[in-house]
Amino acid sequence: MTGLKYTIQTYELCKKYEGCSVVRNVSMHVPKGQIYGLLGRNGAGKTTIMKMLLGLVKKDSGSVTLFNQVMADYQSGIYARIGSTIESPGFYSNLTAVENLSVFSRLRGKVDRNKIRKALGVVGLPYQDKKIFSKYSLGMKQRLAIANAIVNDPELLIFDEPTNGLDPIGIAEMRTLIRRLSHECGKTILISSHQLSEMEQMVDWIGIIHEGRMLEECSYQQLEENRHSYIRLVVKEPEQVYKYLKKTLSIENIKRPEASVIEIYGLKYGTLELNSRLFAAGLSVVEISKCQNSLEDYFKELTGGAGIA
């Protein structure tokens, strides 16, 4: 990770709530202009980390560096450069989208109607709408939260589970929007989610967090490499095949997830060669394929068996 410029860096960040550690020594590095996905189960500490970055929650120990500036607790000056949505969208229920965005724009210093119109357009909400916030669907509320985050054209965007409540088309649109914000507009984006498939399609960097600990932090490309490839065999005589693989071919890393299924890790042989050898040994193969561990499998491996959902 050397040679990269970081928009966010944390060092040994810790937070306890009533004696219970929710964030434990988290060191995180979010490269400038990239999408960083913070992946973890519900209650893993993702939101608390984001809140600490935004000064909404006071850290117990550790340090936060934003835009190369070490942050003191609740120091507000730098937050004008950050747009964020944390947990469920918080807006004044009796105001319309434009009125709400105007209120928060005013707090940032200036109300620019064109920026509000543009932000609403980006998230697909109508500008001329008299509907008040309390009448919005959850999806519309999420969109308004994104609009509020981007209205001021910030350099850094922090999105906490932004696709919650969106329908599949809405999720796809949100993904496209987030990618566009990063790749076309050069925004640095920190996004949290517990939806692996969603993260896979979006992020450049990934941080896997479990029970408040950062288990792994790497580029998505590196993660792809780390995920184990294996050969999956469906056979008629699993016992004989298993013995043959172990004894004759000296393959050590073999798993048997189902009675007739054998998974070979380490990729000592290619599928073609393995198939030929098994055939030559008189063992029939029903199906043979090269597979890769899914992100969920990898997540389970890292967390010692705990799934994501």
Partner 1 sequence: MAWVGTLIIVTIPLFMIWNRLVIDPQREYMEWLMSVLMLNTLILPIVNGFVITSNMQREYQDRTIRNVLTAPVSREKFLTAKLSVWFLWYLISFCLSEVIVIAGCYILFPVEFTTGNMRYALSLFTQNNFFSFIVGIPILLICVKQQALFYPSMLATLGSAVLQAAGLQVSEELILPACICPWTAVSISGMVGWGTQFWRICMITITVCGIIGFIGALVSFKRQDQ
Q: Provide the binding-site residues for partner 1, judged by CB under 8 A.
A: 51, 54-58, 74, 76-77, 79-80, 82, 84, 86-93, 104, 107-108, 148
Question: To the nearest whole angstrom, how small is the minimum distance from the Cβ of residue 41 to partner 1?
Answer: 21
Question: To the nearest whole angstrom, how small is the minimum distance from the Cβ of residue 292 to partner 1?
Answer: 39
Question: To the nearest whole angstrom, how small is the minimum distance from the Cβ of residue 54 to partner 1?
Answer: 5
Question: To the nearest whole angstrom, how small is the minimum distance from the Cβ of residue 31 to partner 1?
Answer: 22
Distance, CA of 301 to CA of 293 (rounded, Å): 10
Question: To the nearest whole angstrom, how small is the minimum distance from the Cβ of residue 84 to partner 1?
Answer: 5
- The residues facing 241 across adjacent strands are none
Distance, CA of 135 to CA of 125 (rounded, Å): 14
- Pairing mode, strands 69-70 and 61-66: antiparallel
Distance, CA of 45 to CA of 209 (rounded, Å): 7
Nearest Cα neighbor of 136 from 84, 87, 94 is 94
Helix, strand or coil, per DSSP, at residue 3? coil
- The residues facing 84 across adjacent strands are 158
Q: Based on CB atoms, which residue is closest to partner 1, 159 or 220?
A: 159
Nearest Cα neighbor of 285 from 241, 230, 231, 239 is 241
Question: To the nearest whole angstrom, how small is the minimum distance from the Cβ of residue 262 to partner 1?
Answer: 51
Q: Based on CB atoms, which residue is closest to partner 1, 89 or 212?
A: 89
Q: Based on CB atoms, which residue is closest to partner 1, 92 or 279?
A: 92
Distance, CA of 125 to CA of 174 (rounded, Å): 13
Question: To the nearest whole angstrom, how small is the minimum distance from the Cβ of residue 145 to partner 1?
Answer: 8
Residue type, 237: E
Q: Based on CB atoms, which residue is closest to partner 1, 91 or 230?
A: 91
Q: Based on CB atoms, which residue is closest to partner 1, 134 or 284?
A: 134
Q: Based on CB atoms, which residue is closest to partner 1, 80 or 185?
A: 80
Nearest Cα neighbor of 158 from 42, 3, 19, 7 is 7
Q: Based on CB atoms, which residue is closest to partner 1, 107 or 280?
A: 107
Helix, strand or coil, per DSSP, at residue 34? coil
